[in-house]
C-alpha cells in the first residue's frame, strides 16, 4: 500500500498483514509453499519467536528477510537486491 506523507509516496511492505505473523501468513505474503516457509524459518533465514509449540514471525523480521534476499535479474546473472525492487515502487 502507498501512503501519502508530505506529498511523498511511502511504500510500506506487507502493511495489510498482522504485526505478528503465522507460517500461513508468511506463505501468503511470499507466495511460497508450507515446506519452503518452514525451511526459511528453521534454517534461520527468517527469524521467529516460538511461543509454546507455535511459531510467530514479527512482520519486521519478514521485511528484514526480503531486504536481505537477492535473486537473479531476468536470468542474466546480475544480482539485484529485493530491497531495491521494493524501493523502486516509490516512483
Q: How far is CA 68 from the centre of its chain?
A: 9
H/E segment holding residue 37: helix 34-42
Q: What are phi and psi of 55, to 5 degrees?
A: -110, 130
Q: Between these two residues, 69 and 46, which has the higher pLDDT value?
A: 46
C-alpha cell at 39: 525451511
Distance CA 90, CA 17 (A): 20
Q: Between these two residues, 42 and 81, which has the higher pLDDT value?
A: 42
The model carries a pTM of 0.67
Please give the sequence-ordered ranges of beta strands (E in DSSP) within the chain, or none if there are none: 2-5, 8-11, 20-21, 49-51, 54-58, 70-72, 79-81
**40-61: pLDDT as tens digits:** 999 999 999 999 999 999 999 9
Amino acid at each position: 500500500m502507498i501512503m501519502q506523507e508530505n506529498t511523498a509516496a511511502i511504500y510500506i511492505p506487507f502493511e495489510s498483514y498482522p504485526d505478528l505473523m503465522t507460517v500461513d501468513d508468511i506463505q501468503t505474503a511470499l507466495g511460497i509453499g508450507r515446506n519452503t516457509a518452514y525451511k526459511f524459518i528453521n534454517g534461520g533465514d527468517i527469524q521467529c519467536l516460538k511461543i509454546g509449540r507455535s511459531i510467530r514471525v514479527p512482520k519486521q523480521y519478514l521485511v528484514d528477510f526480503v531486504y536481505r534476499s537477492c535473486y537473479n535479474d531476468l536470468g542474466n546473472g546480475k544480482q539485484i537486491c529485493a530491497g531495491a525492487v521494493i524501493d523502486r515502487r516509490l516512483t
